Chains A and B, each alone.
Chain A
Amino acid sequence: MKLHEIIEILKAEVLTGDRESQMEILSACGSDLMSDVMAYVKDNVLLLTGLINPQVIRTAEVMDIKVVAFVRGKIPDSNILELAREKDITVIRTEYPMFIACGKLYKAGITGRGADC
């Protein structure tokens, strides 16, 4: 699924990166625990999280995760967004809570591959 479709499904606001992005997303991971995110390696991953701090971006960088979605309407501060821009990571935010956001994406076809996280 293309990133711009995900942005539409989540009714997300784009905080860094391109709203019309054609980036292909193959799987997603929803977690507030960064070590859990790091336990599973996949490609073209979207990270959904309710955790707001710079370590989310650092974890994404380490994991080659190019897109982070903050759920539950949380607003990351400018330091986090600056770090994301520096690392070329797209940041979006949605008002949907974690379960609903994951559910909408799953229903739309992002079911993940291999072990889920």
Chain B
Amino acid sequence: MSENLINLYYVINANDFSAAGEASGNVKKKLVQLGIDPAIIKKTAISMYEAEMNAFIHANGGEINVEISNNRIVIVISDKGPGIADLDLAMKEGYSTASDKVREMGFGAGMGLPNIKRYSDELDIQTEVGKGTTVRIIVYIN
């Protein structure tokens, strides 16, 4: 078991578009302060930002728990949104259920989950239609 160094908690507010993504920025800053390798920081920040925006866009917000230990960063983002009906389809590049409004915001290109998969070391998604989704992302430091 690795020693837990830092635990961070954030709420994703569904009504504040300009603040969406702020938690990812804060975690990035924290990782910089800890002197983590910049390539690992970027992987973490992109994965978390995409997942944070997903919760904002699709699920009326949610909450984020981040655990930074000696050898890994674990990010768990949970929401009580509509859930993902077909996860295999959602993992495909270019597939999106986002509205035109979301596309106008620069998201909904169907790259969110594929990007998280691409940049994380481990990705686990638990989802149930009508109940919500929990996305668990792990990035290893060493």
Contacts and interface: CB of A to CB of B under 8 A. Distances in A.
Interface in B39-55: 42, 45-46, 49-50, 53
Interface size class of B (residues with CB under 8 A): 20 to 34
A58 B49 contact: yes
Contact of B18 (A33, A79, A87): A79
Contacts of B118: 39
Interface residues of A, number: 23
A54 interface: yes
A33 B50 CA distance: 12
Interface string B77-118: 000000000000000000000000001011111111011001
A64 B18 CA distance: 19
Nearest to B56: A55
B24 interface: yes
A59 B49 contact: yes
A2 to B, nearest CB: 22
A56 B104 CA distance: 12
Contact of B109 (A36, A55, A87): A36
A38 B17 contact: no
B49 A62 contact: yes
Interface of A: 32-36, 38-39, 41, 49, 51, 53-56, 58-59, 61-64, 79, 83, 87
25 contacts: A33-B107, A35-B50, A35-B108, A35-B109, A35-B115, A36-B111, A38-B111, A41-B42, A51-B105, A53-B18, A54-B17, A55-B17, A55-B53, A55-B106, A56-B106, A58-B21, A58-B22, A58-B49, A59-B21, A61-B25, A62-B21, A62-B25, A62-B45, A83-B18, A87-B25
